[in-house]
Amino acid sequence: MTTTAFPLLMPRLVKKLPSLSLWFLAAVHVLVLASFFLVLLTVSPARAQECHGENLLKALERDDPQRYDAVINEGIKVVNGKGLFWKIEGKGSAPSYLLGTMHVSDPRVLDMPAGAAEAHAEARTIVIESDEILDDKKAMAAILAKPELTMFTDGRSIESLLSPDDLAILEAGLKRRGLVLSAVSRMKPWMLASFVALPACELARKAQNAAFLDKKIALDAVAAGKPVKGLETLDEQLTAMAELPLEFHLKSLVETVKLGDRMEDVVETMTELYLQGETGLTIPALKAVTPSGAGDDESAYVAFESTIISQRNHKMAERAKPLLIDGGVFMAVGALHLPGEDGLVELLRKQGFAVTLVR
């Protein structure tokens, strides 16, 4: 997609972004499932290719400076909303470190902030969201252990829940991605999320076993003989996705298929914000590029923030506490878990740790 063509796309794209952006944000929290999903469906995506997405925030700055300023101002207000790499200190123990990650294999993302590699090398224990990602068979078993989380087990299917028009759109979109609707119609929409929402270049890398940042951190730790601990299970991640309204998932699945390659713009926007350490700006940016006032989208956001971010943050903070008390930990979790009043940085401070920004 060329830059000159992008302004023509913007008006059509922003009308769809509230629910799409939230669904994608939810999806990236369980992108550890993507590799196993590809195996499950025996999909063979196209060869690796370059991503060509445009940063929506840059386009917004050019086309609507006033709205752009409002987005920036909202991001500035987010507590601990800037920075990816934090130092955690407790009384009488070695310092620990917290790194915000993005669950993709983009080479730009794999290049950790300065000092992070050294902290990883010096740490005694590595902590990630789920240590099940280290064992493909274990991860697959966890996904399949509760079929009601991944499949419709009550006789329903995506075909029975969508209108004929939406089914036609979904069928055509899945076909372009190498899938037949009848083969996946009993899968829950969130199981299709990581495949449909990601651009072809990322899917191709995953199909070639490229490790996303969290998995690379864990694999490097195992190679160095370090223990790797998980803060939650894949079961818990799937359950969180399942708690979001089904209608939200179905609608967003269809709209994402309609966008096709234009989802690259959403991914690129998130990636560039991540690389800039703008963790607090990500959600305001993806929400506010569209006119406000859509009540259903706002309620969907509230559900997303509570279920996919806040509740999991509290759980991860409690499980991390005893490990951090011992010190010498390198902890890596999705960057959107860091900022905000209910973010990990603030929650760890409330537990009595001194948490300071490194970079």
The answer to whether the CB of 146 falls within 8 A of the CB of 238 is yes
Q: Which residues pair with 100 in a beta bridge?
A: 333
- Cβ atoms of 204 and 49 within 8 Å: the answer is yes
Q: Per the domain annotation, does 129 fall within a domain?
A: yes
pLDDT tens by residue, 43-67: 444 444 567 888 888 988 999 999 8
Rounded Cα distance between 54 and 266, Å, is: 8
- Is the torsion defined by CA of 247, 253, 258, 261 positive or negative? positive
Reading the block at residue 41, the tokens are 């469906």
State mean pLDDT over 81-97: 96
Q: What pLDDT does 289 receive?
A: 54
Give the total number of structural domains in the chain: 1
Average pLDDT estimate for 209-214:
86
> What pLDDT was estimated at residue 288?
60
Tell whether 229 is covered by a domain: yes
Residue 87 DSSP SS3: strand
Judge whether 71 lies within some domain: yes
User: Has residue 112 been placed in a domain?
Assistant: yes
Q: Please state, in angstroms and as integers, the Cα–Cα distance from residue 6 to each residue in 60, 235, 284, following that order.
A: 11, 39, 21
pLDDT digits (tens, 9 = 90+) for 16-45: 444 555 555 555 554 455 455 554 554 444
In this structure, is residue 242 part of a structural domain?
yes
Neighbouring CB atoms inside 10 A of 353's CB total 24
Whether residue 10 is predicted with pLDDT greater than 50 in this model: the reply is: no
pLDDT score at 43: 47
User: Scanning the structure block, which residue is given the tokens 């969201």?
Assistant: 129
For residue 312, is it within any domain?
Answer: yes
Whole-angstrom Cα Rg for the chain: 20
User: Is 228 part of a structural domain of the chain?
Assistant: yes
Query: What is the predicted pLDDT for the residue at 294?
Result: 41
Q: What is the mean pLDDT of residues 205-217?
A: 85
What domain range includes position 138? 6-357
| The pLDDT value given to residue 290 | 43
Q: State the burial class of residue 11 (Cβ atoms within 10 Å of its Cβ: 0-12, 13-18, 19+).
A: exposed
Considering the chain, what percentage of its residues have pLDDT values greater than 90?
46
Answer whether residue 11 shows pLDDT above 60: no
Asked whether residue 63 is assigned to any structural domain, the reply reads yes
* pLDDT beyond 60 at 196: yes
